[in-house]
């Protein structure tokens, strides 16, 4: 069965961000949410972390997974399981990962003036992976994500302790 490409019916728009005082008249559009510079710098130190590549002795990824930082990611309120749309977003915005969860956290962090970074595990390729592969490797993606986040928190704690010691003269 041939399906129509309805991509021309999809649009992108900024989210509305309300100020920390909660006054609706102070809302501002937010299209890109900046990642905290310190967090992004610390994330570079995650690139050498070992990630598991096998669920068990018979189910392994075709290549060894790795950690890398991206300049720009896209988050939407729809599942992006369409290779044509994925390619469009990449060519239009030079974005590489696509998810459904990061925007909510990013907007709240921006509103509350809290540092933000998204740490994501890419567990499928929008429009390019079978649902069987996703089911098999989702637990592996989750384990790897937990290990990366734990390492990030450890690096952040060390950085905060160093800054505190420098400020207090210890």
pLDDT at 128 over 80: no
Question: Given this model, what pLDDT does residue 114 score?
Answer: 93
pTM exceeding the 0.95 threshold for the entire prediction: no
Alpha carbons within 13 A on the beta-carbon side of 113: 3
Cα-based angle 82, 85, 91 (whole degrees, multiple of 5): 140
Summarised one tens digit per residue, pLDDT across range 74-85 is 887 667 677 777
Give me the mean pLDDT over the 129-153 stretch: 82
Of the chain, the percentage scoring pLDDT greater than 70 comes to 81
Task: Give the Cα separation of 104 and 115 in Å (integer).
Answer: 14
- Domain limits, the chain: 7-168
């Amino acid at each position: 069965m041939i399906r129509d490409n309805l991509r021309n019916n999809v649009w992108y728009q900024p989210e509305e961000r309300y100020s920390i005082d909660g006054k609706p008249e102070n809302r501002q559009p937010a299209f890109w949410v900046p990642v905290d510079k310190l967090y992004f710098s610390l994330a570079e130190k995650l690139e050498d972390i070992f990630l598991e590549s096998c669920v068990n002795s018979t189910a392994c990824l075709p290549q060894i997974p790795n950690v890398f930082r991206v300049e720009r990611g896209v988050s939407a309120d729809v599942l992006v399981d369409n290779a044509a749309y994925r390619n469009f977003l990449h060519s239009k915005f030079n974005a590489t990962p696509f998810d459904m969860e990061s925007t909510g956290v990013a907007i709240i962090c921006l509103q509350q003036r809290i540092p933000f970074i998204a740490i994501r595990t890419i567990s499928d390729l929008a429009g390019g992976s079978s649902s069987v592969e996703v089911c098999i490797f989702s637990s592996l993606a989750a384990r790897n994500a937990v290990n990366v986040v734990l390492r990030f928190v450890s690096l952040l704690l060390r950085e905060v302790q160093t800054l505190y010691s420098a400020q207090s003269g210890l």
